[in-house]
Amino acid sequence: MAALAVNAVDDNTVEIFYNGSSATVTVASNISSYITNQSNGSHVKLIQGSGVNDRVGEITYNLSGISTDGEFCLEGSYKTTIELAGLALTNPNGPALNIQDGKRVAISAKKGTTNTLTDGSNYTDDLNGCLHCKGHTEFQGKGTLTIVGNYKHAIYSKEYVEIKNLTLNITAAQKDGIHCKEYFLIKSGTVNINGVGDDGIQVELKGDTPTAVTADHDDEDTGNFYMEDGELTINSFGGNAIKADGSVTISGGTQNYDKNAVVEYALGISDILVDDLGGPNAVYDLNGRQLPEGKSLNRGVYIIKKGEQTKKAIVR
C-alpha cells in the first residue's frame, strides 16, 4: 500500500507525492473518513465516499513527483479538482490518470509547473486514453500539461471537454488526440496536437437525441465544437484535424491547421433519400427540426424515430 498520512495538509485536500516505485498519500483530517485508500506502491487508487460534497465541499487532489511505473485512479460521484503540481507520471499498463467520476472533474495545471502523462501501449478495452475521464472534463490553470498516448486516445472524456488558460501539448496518440462526447469548447489557452493516428479532435453525441444549443452549454449534447479564444495548432494527423457530429463554430482565437481537414457531419456533403433508410420514419436534424417525408438527406447526423424506437443515424 502507498504510505498514508493524515492532518498535514489544508482542509479538503489530498496530496499525492510520487517517488519512483512509491507514493505518499496525505489526507486532510476533515475528509479522512471519506477517503478509502486502495493503493499499491506508486499505483494510487482512492475511493471518494458518499456525502462528502454535501458535508464538507469539493475535494482537491494535488499530484506531484515522478514515477515511471505509477498511476492515479479515482472513483467517486462528486465534483472534483485534480491539481497537477510538477508531475511526471508513466503507467506502462494503463492510463496515467483514470478518473471514474461522472460529475465535473477539473484538471488544473498549477501555475509555473510542467506536467507529463504517459500511458502504456496495451491495456483493457474499456479504458480509452492516457487521461481517461468518465465525467465532464474541464482543463484549466496556467501551467503546462503534456500527454503522450501510446494505446488509443491521448485524452478521452465520456462527456464534454472545456479548456481554459493552460498550455496543453499532445505529442502522440495512436487514435485521436482528444476524443469527447456532448461538446468541445476552447475558451482560452494554447493547445498543440501533433503525431496522432486518427483525428486531432473528435466530438461525438453522447445520446441518441441531441439537445439544442444552450446558454453556457449547460446540459448540452450537440456534438458541436466551439472555439472562443486561445490558440489551436494541429499537425501530423492520420484522419481529420477536427471531426464533429454537430457543427464547428469559431468565434475567436488563432487556428493553425488544415481548414480542409475539418468534418462537420451536421453540414452535410453528399445526398441519400430518407426512403433509403427503410420503412416509415420520422427524421430530425440536430436542431430538433423534423424533416419533410421523402426529403433528400445530406451527409450528416440525424435522429431517426420509428414507432417507439429512436436512434442516431450517420449518413456518410
Q: What is the pLDDT of residues 135-188, one digit of tens each?
A: 999 999 999 999 999 999 999 999 999 999 999 999 999 999 999 999 999 999
Strands 43-48 and 35-37 turn out to be antiparallel
Which backbone phi and psi does 33 adopt, to 5 degrees? Answer: -75, -10
Place of cell 501530423: 236
Would you give the DSSP letter of residue 229?
S
Cα dihedral 197/201/206/211 (nearest 10):
-150
* Integer Cα distance of 111 and 143 in angstroms: 4
Q: How far is CA 133 from the centre of its chain?
A: 6
Q: What is the pLDDT of residues 57-94, one digit of tens each?
A: 899 999 999 999 999 999 999 999 999 999 999 999 99
SS3 281: coil
Q: What is the pLDDT of residues 238-292, one digit of tens each?
A: 999 999 999 999 999 999 999 999 988 775 433 333 444 455 577 777 667 788 8
306: pLDDT confidence band, cut at 50, 70 and 90? low
**What mean pLDDT, rounded, does the chain reach?**
89
Which backbone phi and psi does 22 adopt, to 5 degrees? Answer: -130, 165
125: pLDDT confidence band, cut at 50, 70 and 90? confident
- Residue 290 pLDDT: 82
Cβ(191)–Cβ(231) below 8 Å: yes
